[in-house]
Amino acid sequence: MNWKIEENKDPQAIEQLSKELNVDKVISSMLIKRGIKTFNQAKDFFRPNIKQLHDPFLMQDMDKAVSRILQAIEEKESIMIFGDYDVDGTSSVALLSSFLNEIGADLSTYIPDRNNEGYGISLKAIDLAKKNKETLIIALDCGIKANDQVQYALKKGIDFIICDHHNPSNQLPNAYAILNPKRNDCKYPFKELCGCGVGFKLIQAINKRKGLEIENIISYLDLVAVAIAADIVPLIGENRILTYVGLQLINSNPRMGLHCILKNNKKKEFNIGDLIFYIAPRINAAGRMDHAALALELLLEKDLNKGEKLVEKIEKLNLKRREVEKNITEHALKKIVDEDNPKSNSTVVFEKSWNKGVIGIVASRIIEKHYKPTIVFCMSKDGNLTGSARSIQGVDLYEILQECKASILQFGGHKYAAGLTIEKENFKIFKTSFEKAVKNYVKNKLPIKEIKIESKIILNSITPKFFRILNQFEPFGPENKRPIFLSENLNLKGELNKIGKNREHLKLSVSQESDKTFSAIGFWLSEKATSISSNSTFSMLYTIDENTWNGITSIQLKIKDIK
């Protein structure tokens, strides 16, 4: 694994900001790397405020979308709220349906079945809308490529409003309004919203049109924070503000469904990691193992007893999901050893019986073992193959799939994650085409996995004040990663311990040219024990955290790598 220090090339700016803010130069350097160069910018960064959000009417088609929705409510039209089956989609549907219910809309909600209908807007939903005399469908977290489906709906007298954040094609659907900051003609200043973020901008616009203050809709930000965390969008700009305020809400007064999920977690305060690794997998488990309508029901539930019963069901589905995912990952890794060329630039595996709900997670697990762009396929009920694709640092999956579209029925997604459908008989053709496209993209040289280092520091600089300011960089995520620091010439103090059920973790104390020692822990890093000797110094990469033991809280270093 490569260690790469992200150097800051403007020492004068670092010095200046350090003086202005009265902070360590390491802190001012971190701010400048994140585009924060003045006292006022730092103030806005450290104290995100809902008032800092952009005017929602800057988004292309927002005025049309708001007018059409308010017209539908006024004329008592029935509306269908349609959303994808993942966390972003279900959160979006919960957010918009709750808000529109409050302002008097007559609506139904619809989330497609992952196995029977697949990703995106389904014709089955449009037929149901027609049957129920619904004249407007609002699609969330999907729809930007649904040209045929929108045309089908128009023939049935149904208008579409699309709220999406995925990359559009050259030809947009013929919808009444399309809200997507990634549209070429959209001048909205922030391009990286998730689907639920776009949904929030819609309710912000309706709220504004009705002459109400933004505080009126703060209660929806717990949903937006969960969706942002789960969808791994950049945690900068509006996403940072929405997540920051959303986390405050989750820690003070979350909606009943989220409260019921978090009840079993003993933590006093929840952070972005808890949204990603605790809440999101449970919400996703419903759509992966059963039907996402169960997750939506939980997010809308207001009764404690009913909420607890729904969480019980979802907890069982999550345990089942873990087991299925583990089995498929083991099977897939064996197939790769048996079938794939170790010198290839990509990994593509297929098994008819694999569970469609977990193949995306399996693709991510494979990348942990084989660091290459990866696609895992299974068979859909229509006989076609459904694939979940994941990529590695610096390799644009979406661009690569564009090169292979001759052998793809449909695809959509982002730079690092995508979904696609191919015909079964085209599997070998596609696999060859994908390998060639990846090979051309990386010029036959795959990037090596690397750890990006924020800064080289000495242990003595880790003071309570330094740690307190560091915490104010939260919430961490893409483009505002939790900082990894490098310290060199470290000494082992006391015993080196391997801990855990199978002695898989590493626990030690370190010092650096002084008597000041720090406790350090390395999860799943026991094999690094060979890099440490009591007779010689070593270098260590780590994040700075705290640990509470027997009622005493102290700073602890979380080891990422040792050399």
pLDDT at 549: 79
**422 and 459 share one domain:** no
Q: Which domain CATH number covers 369? A: 3.10.310.30
- The Cα–Cα gap between 412 and 187 comes to 23
pLDDT, tens only, 352-381: 999 988 999 999 999 999 999 999 999 988
Amino acid identity for residue 384 in this structure? N
Q: Nearest to residue 168, comparing CAs of 417, 441, 438, 414?
A: 414
CB crowding 180-190: b at 16 or more within 10 Å, else e: bbbbeebebeb
Residue 13 lies in a domain: no
pLDDT at 533 over 90: no
Lowest mean pLDDT among 113-122, 380-389, 459-468, 507-516: 113-122
Domain boundary among 441, 474, 507: 441
Residue 317 lies in a domain: no
pLDDT at 503 over 80: yes
Highest mean pLDDT among 4-13, 114-123, 171-180, 401-410 belongs to: 171-180
**75 and 216 share one domain:** yes
Tokens of 59: 């988004």
pLDDT over 70 for what percent of the chain?
100
**216 and 351 share one domain:** no
Q: Which helix (H) or strand (E) holds 78?
A: strand 78-83
- The Cα–Cα gap between 35 and 55 comes to 22
pLDDT at 269: 87
pLDDT at 381: 84
Characterise 11 by phi-psi region: left (phi > 0), alpha (psi -120 to 50), beta (else).
alpha
Domain boundary among 281, 305, 329: 305
**107 and 243 share one domain:** yes
Beta strands in 216-289 (DSSP E): none
Average pLDDT on 466-479 reads: 92
Tokens of 443: 């010029």
Phi, psi of 422, rounded to the nearest 5 degrees = -130, 160
Per the structure, how many domains does the chain have? 3
**482 and 556 share one domain:** yes
pLDDT, tens only, 319-335: 999 999 999 999 999 99
- Dihedral (Cα; 413, 417, 418, 422), 10-degree rounding: 160
pLDDT at 342: 80
Q: How far from 66 is each of 116, 138, 160, 207, CA to CA, in Å?
A: 32, 11, 13, 10
**367 and 508 share one domain:** no
Residue 329 lies in a domain: no
**How many Cβ atoms from other residues are within 10 Å of residue 283's Cβ?**
29
Q: How far from 58 is each of 54, 55, 95, 204, 456, CA to CA, in Å?
A: 8, 6, 21, 12, 42
pLDDT at 8 over 80: no
- The Cα–Cα gap between 173 and 523 comes to 48
Residue 286 lies in a domain: yes
Average pLDDT on 243-265 reads: 94
Amino acid identity for residue 359 in this structure? I
Tokens of 544: 């700075």
Residue 331 lies in a domain: no
pLDDT at 9: 76
**435 and 471 share one domain:** no
Query: What pTM did the predictor assign?
Result: 0.89
pLDDT at 546: 86
**434 and 470 share one domain:** no
Domain boundary among 441, 475, 494: 441
**486 and 375 share one domain:** no
Q: What secondary structure does DSSP assign to 185-220, as a single string?
A: T---S-----HHHHHHHHHHHHHHHTT--GGGGGGG
Average pLDDT on 410-430 reads: 90
pLDDT at 501 over 90: no
Q: Which domain holds residue 128?
A: 56-305
Average pLDDT on 238-243 reads: 96
pLDDT, tens only, 53-104: 999 999 999 999 999 999 999 999 999 999 999 999 999 999 999 999 999 9
The residue with tokens 């990529």 is 391
pLDDT, tens only, 101-148: 999 999 999 999 887 887 889 999 999 999 999 999 999 999 999 999
Residue 332 lies in a domain: no
Residues 6+ apart with CB under 8 A from 399: 415, 441
Residues 6+ apart with CB under 8 A from 81: 93, 96, 97, 100, 107, 108, 109, 110, 138, 140
**363 and 281 share one domain:** no
**How many Cβ atoms from other residues are within 10 Å of residue 134's Cβ?**
24
Residue 312 lies in a domain: no
**296 and 436 share one domain:** no
Work out the pLDDT band at 266, boundaries 50, 70, 90.
Answer: confident
Q: Which domain CATH number covers 108? A: 3.90.1640.30
Residue 477 DSSP label: B
pLDDT at 346 over 90: yes
pLDDT, tens only, 167-216: 898 899 999 999 999 999 999 999 999 999 999 999 999 999 999 999 99
Q: Nearest to residue 139, comparing CAs of 165, 154, 121?
A: 121
pLDDT at 158 over 90: yes
pLDDT, tens only, 275-303: 999 999 999 999 889 999 999 999 999 99
Residue 12 lies in a domain: no
Tokens of 257: 């469904």
Average pLDDT on 238-250 reads: 96
- The Cα–Cα gap between 491 and 223 comes to 46
pLDDT at 529: 87
**How many Cβ atoms from other residues are within 10 Å of residue 536's Cβ?**
10
Work out the pLDDT band at 312, boundaries 50, 70, 90.
Answer: very high
Average pLDDT, the chain: 93
pLDDT at 477 over 80: yes
**426 and 458 share one domain:** no
3-class SS of residue 355: coil
